[in-house]
Amino acid sequence: MTNRRSFLRSSGLGLAASLASGIRPSASLAAQETTAGPPIRKAIKIGMAPRDLPLVERFKLIKVCGFDGVDMDSPNDLPREEVIRARDESGLIIHGCVCSTHWSSPLSHPDPEVRAKTVSGMTTALEDCKAYGGTTVLLVPAVVNESISYADAYDRSQAEVRSLLPKAEELGITVAFENVWNNFLLSPLEFARYIDEFESDRVGAYFDIGNVVRFGWPEQWVRILGDRIVKLDVKEYSRDIQMNEGLAKGFNVPLGEGSVDWPAVVQAIDEIGYRGWATAELRGGDADYLEDVATRMDRCFGMG
């Protein structure tokens, strides 16, 4: 793998050709949750469940509504023993955590003290994830804006992530980069290269299906990223609404009723051999709403 990655770094043409031909990194990067049972296991972000319920009741509700797992935010103000008790009493799997500091203190920030806040937050998230029994911590690796250049974001974020890899290795938790509207990693070829340059099995892609519709076609990203994908985020996006009402409004469409070609996405997921978690990242709601989300996910992934 090291030879391949060195080659990709030295040749942009080699990068495109290798990815287009379907060559992918070690299967260990797939972080497959199971080799038995359904290929896709449904989960939601913890913030989608009613916030006025005690944690154990939120977990039980998520389970009853048709989900197997949940993605927790970390750092959080919840005692670990409370989270673990809710997990055990509900039977809901905490499959991972989402870093809760990466937007306010991005790893691309010019101030080292600001970046250090997310390095510390990620360290806590990695430890929480291990304690909860999860396998990944979702990280938005960088933010590019008028005051943070693309090149600086690339270099700074990679340096900070590398400082976290010994802890990730020690705990056996994967740092999973999400593709978001952060003006960074705007193509699947670049996203793949960014991951490969770490030369580590403890990094991968937390691929958000809906987030790329603004830039392209999710099924193309899936094939290029291949076994780098360790988890899936699930949301919908409508290009028609985007054009008529504005960029952010494109997300205001139920799963299965937007511009995502779900059969094509599922075919691509099958082609790369992905088996694992698909986590809804949508607005929150009550039990009826969550049950509808679960039903829609089943339809989108051809499971219902």
Tell me how many degrees the CA angle 167-171-175 measures, rounded to the nearest 5: 65
Of 168, 269, 276, 166, the residue nearest 226 (C-alpha): 269
Strands 136-139, 40-45: pairing is: unpaired
- pLDDT, position 38: 73
Whether residue 214 contacts residue 247, with contact meaning beta carbons closer than 8 Å, is answered with: yes
Whether residue 195 contacts residue 175, with contact meaning beta carbons closer than 8 Å, is answered with: no
- pLDDT, position 26: 34
CATH code of 214's domain: 3.20.20.150
- pLDDT, position 189: 98
Cβ neighbours around 18 below 10 Å, total: 19
Structural domain span for residue 86: 2-300
Cα separation of the two ends of the chain: 38
Write down the pTM of the prediction: 0.89
Q: In total, how many domains does the chain have? A: 1
Output the six-digit token pair for 215: 């830039």
DSSP 65: T
Please tell me the chain's helix, strand, coil percentages from 3-state DSSP, rounded to the nearest 5. 50, 15, 35
Q: Cα separation of 43 and 49, whole Å?
A: 11
Q: Cα separation of 304 and 294, whole Å?
A: 10
- pLDDT, position 12: 41
DSSP for 16-57, please give it.
Answer: HHHHHTT----GGGG--S-SSS-SEEEEEEGGGS-TTS-HHH
Whether residue 69 contacts residue 94, with contact meaning beta carbons closer than 8 Å, is answered with: yes
Whether residue 159 contacts residue 173, with contact meaning beta carbons closer than 8 Å, is answered with: no
Per-residue pLDDT tens digits of the chain, which is 304 residues long? 343 344 343 434 344 444 444 433 333 333 344 445 578 999 999 999 999 999 999 999 999 999 999 999 999 999 999 999 999 999 999 999 999 999 999 999 999 999 999 999 999 999 999 999 999 999 999 999 999 999 999 999 999 999 999 999 999 999 999 999 999 999 999 999 999 999 999 999 999 999 999 999 999 999 999 999 999 999 999 999 999 999 999 999 999 999 999 999 999 999 999 999 999 999 999 999 999 999 999 999 999 7
Q: Cα separation of 38 and 290, whole Å?
A: 20
Which helix (H) or strand (E) segment is 3 a member of? helix 2-10
